[in-house]
Amino acid sequence: MSIDWNLYPCQDLYDELVAAPGQGRNAFAGLLDDLKALGPDELVARQEAAEVAIKEMGITFTVYSEEGGTIDRAWPFDIIPRIIPKSEWDRVEAGLKQRVQALNLFIDDLYHDQRIIKDGVFPAAVLAKSVNFRPQCVGVNPPLGIWAHICGSDLVRDADGTIYVLEDNLRVPSGVSYMLENRLVTKRVFPELFEHYAPLPVDDYPSQLFDTLAALSPRPADYPQVAVLTPGIYNSAYFEHSYLAQQMGCELVEGRDLFVDTDDCVYMRTVDGPKQVDVIYRRIDDLFLDPEAFDPTSTLGVPGLMRAWTAGTVALANAPGAGVADDKVVYAFVPEIIKYYLDADAILPNVPTYRCMEPEALAYTLANMERMVVKPANESGGYGMLVGPASTAADRAQFARLIQADPRNYIAQPALKLSTVPTIIGRGLEPRHVDLRPFILSADRQQVTMGGLTRVALRKGSLVVNSSQGGGSKDTWIVPD
C-alpha cells in the first residue's frame, strides 16, 4: 500500500492539512509530499519509535481502573503534526489575551462591586445559582487584581474554517506538560521535517510559568519560594504536577507538607525546619484547599490557607473562586463581558450558544435536540453531556427532562463538525477530529503558549478528545508563513 492523497476522504469537512483530495492546504502543502515520500512502512516505524520513546521517557497519565486502583498508561500520541500558520495564530493569540483579560476583570468585579450585574449586562440569577462562586472570596484583593493566572481555553474549528472558543478552563487546567513532551518526541522522530518547517519553539513555557508565579509573590525577591501543590500520586495529572515542579525547579508539595502558623504565613516543613512559601501553584480544587474554609473532611488541603491568602501573605494561582467564570452559562455571556469591560468586540467568537434559561432558547433546544450538543454548566472531561447526532430517542427524552427541571444548568450548541488532521490508523492515513487547548498566562504581563495541546479523537467519527475517553494527542506546529 502507498499513500494516495487523492483518496484521502476530506469532503464535507475542514482538514487542517488537506484542502481537497490530492491538494494540500496553505503554505505547507509540501508536507503531503514529504509524508508520501516517507511511505507507510517508514511512517509506521516512526510511530512505533515514538511510542517507545514515550515509554522510555515515562510520559504517562493515570486512569482510575475498575478494580478501584489506578494505572499509569502511556500517553497516546500520533506523530503527524497539526500545523497552523503564524499569521492565523497571531489573531488567535490576540483573541485569547483579550478574552482572559476580560474574564479576570469580570471575576474581580463579581467579588467586589458587581457592576456588571447592576448595569444589567449579566443576570443576577446566573450568579445566584453558580456552584463555583465562593462567598469566602468576596472583597479579597489578590496580587495585581488577577484571579485566573493560568487559563486553558479549548478551541475548535468548524467545517467552514472558523475557529471558535468552546470553553475556558479557569480552575486547574491540565495538559501543558504533554504539549511540551509531544514536542520532544516529534523532534526525535521527525528531525528532517522539523528542520525544514522550523515550527516556533514551545519550550519556554516552564520559565514563563515561573515568571508568572514569581510576579505574584507578596515578598519581592528574585527567586521567591514557589511550590506546586498536588493532591498526590493517585491524581490523574500527577505526572504533570511533578513535571512542572521539576522544570521550574521548585518544590512539589502535598497539603501535609504545608502549615499555616499563627502569623498567618504559610510554611513548608523541611529538613532544615519551616520555610516560608510565597506562591502556591495549586493543582487542587477550591473545595479541598482548606478544611477550615471549605470541606472540613478534606485531607488534601492546608488548614488556614484561605486565612493566609486573605491576609495577603501568600499568593494562590489560580485564585480561589476563579472558577466562577468557568461555568458554561457564564461562557455564553463572554462576548457581552468583553464588550462591557473592554469596550471591544470579541476577536475570537464563541460557538453559537443557546442559554436554556431563556425561554426561546429553551424551546429551540428542545425542538432541535438531535442537531445540538447539550452541556451541563459545571462538568468537565466530557462527562454528562448529550451529543445530539449520536444520541438515541431515549437519551434525548431523558435530557429534555433534565433541562426542563433545571434550565439554568444547561446550554446547547449546534453540533459542530470539528476539523480533522491526517492520523496514522493501521498502515494508512485517515482524518480524525481535533481540538486545541492553548494556555494563557496572566500576571504583570500576558503570555500565550506557541500553539497548545492538540487533542485528537482516535475513534473514527468520534468527537470526544479526552484522554480518559479514547483520545490521543498531536504536536502543534506554529509555522511562519
Partner 1 sequence: MLSRVAENIYWLARYVERAENTARIVSVNANLLLDLPRGIAPGWQPLVYITGANAWFEEHYPDYGEPNVVHFLIGDERHSGSILYAVAAARENCRTIRDFVPREAWELLNELYLYARDELERGTTKGGRHGYLKHIIQSTQGINGLLSGTMLHDQGYEFLHLGRFMERADMTTRIIDVRSANLLPHSTTDLQPFETIQWVSVLKSMTAYQAYRRSEQVRVQRERVLRFLFQHKAFPRAVWHCIESTRQSLEKLPRKDAALRVAGRVKRNLEAAEPWLLDQQQLHAYVDELQLSIGELHTEIAKTWFPPPLVLEAAA
Closest approach, Cβ 62 to partner 1, in A, equals 12
Separation between Cα atoms, residue 440 and residue 448, nearest integer Å: 4
Does 91 help bind partner 1 (rule: CB under 8 A)? no
Q: Is 374 helix (H, G, I), strand (E, B) or coil?
A: strand
Choosing from 207, 246, 368, 404, the residue that interacts with partner 1 (CB under 8 A) is 246
How many Å apart are CA 454 and CA 477, to the nearest integer?
Answer: 10
Cβ proximity to partner 1, 282 vs 433, nearer residue: 282
Distance between CA 367 and CA 181 in Å, rounded? 45
The single residue listed with the C-alpha cell 528542520 is 195
Which one of the spans 184-192, 291-299, 418-426, 427-435 is the region binding partner 1 (CB under 8 A)? 291-299
Q: Which is nearer to partner 1, 152 or 291 (CB)?
A: 291
Residue 384 binds partner 1 (CB under 8 A): no
User: CA-CA distance, 22 to 29, in Å (whole number)?
Assistant: 10
What grid cell was written down for 416? 459542530
Residue 252 touches partner 1, criterion: CB under 8 A: yes
| Cβ–Cβ < 8 Å for 340, 381 | no
Q: Which of 257, 264, 336, 430 binds partner 1 (CB under 8 A)?
A: 257
Amino acid identity for residue 201 in this structure: P
- Asked if residue 472 lies in contact with residue 76, where contact means CB atoms within 8 angstroms, the answer is yes
2 binds partner 1 per the rule CB under 8 A: no
Q: Three-state SS across 173-230?
A: CCCHHHHHHHHHHHHHHCHHHHHHHCCCCCCCHHHHHHHHHHCCCCCCCCCCCEEEEC
Q: What x/- string results for residues 185 through 224 when contact with partner 1 is judged by CB under 8 A? A: ----------------------------------------
Is 253 a residue that touches partner 1 (CB under 8 A)? yes
If the CB atoms of residues 139 and 273 are measured against partner 1, the closer one turns out to be: 273
Query: Minimal distance in Å, beta carbon 83 to partner 1?
Result: 34
Interacting residues with partner 1 between 43 and 62 (CB under 8 A): 58
Between CA 114 and CA 96 the distance in angstroms is: 24
The number of beta carbons lying within 10 Å of the beta carbon of residue 241 is: 25
Beta strands 226-229; 453-457: pairing state: unpaired
Task: Please identify which residue in 27, 38, 268, 366 interacts with partner 1, judged by CB under 8 A.
Answer: 268
Site residue total, partner 1 (CB under 8 A): 22
Phi and psi of 320, rounded to 5°?
-55, 145
Contacts of 305 (CB under 8 A, 6+ apart): 258, 260, 266, 280, 289, 290, 293, 314, 316
Among 162-170, 184-192, 243-251, 464-472, the segment contacting partner 1 (CB under 8 A): 243-251
Cis peptide bond prior to 318, omega within 30° of 0: yes
When binding is defined by CB under 8 A, the residue of 65, 141, 207, 299 that contacts partner 1 is: 299
Kindly state the smallest distance separating residue 266's Cβ from partner 1, in Å: 14
Q: Please give the Cα distance from 250 to 237 (Å, whole number).
A: 17
Span of 295-303, 309-317, 370-378, 466-474 interacting with partner 1 by CB under 8 A? 295-303
The residue range among 146-154, 245-253, 436-444, 449-457 that interacts with partner 1, by the rule CB under 8 A, is 245-253
Which member of 45, 124, 125, 233 binds partner 1 (CB under 8 A)?
Answer: 233
251 makes contact with partner 1 (CB under 8 A): yes
**Nearer of residues 55 and 427 to partner 1, judged by Cβ:** 55
| Distance (Å, whole) CA 266 – CA 141 | 18
244 binds partner 1 (CB under 8 A): no
- Closest distance to partner 1 from the beta carbon of 96 (Å): 32
**Chain residues that interact with partner 1, rule: CB under 8 A:** 58, 232-233, 242, 245-246, 251-254, 256-257, 268-273, 291, 296-297, 299
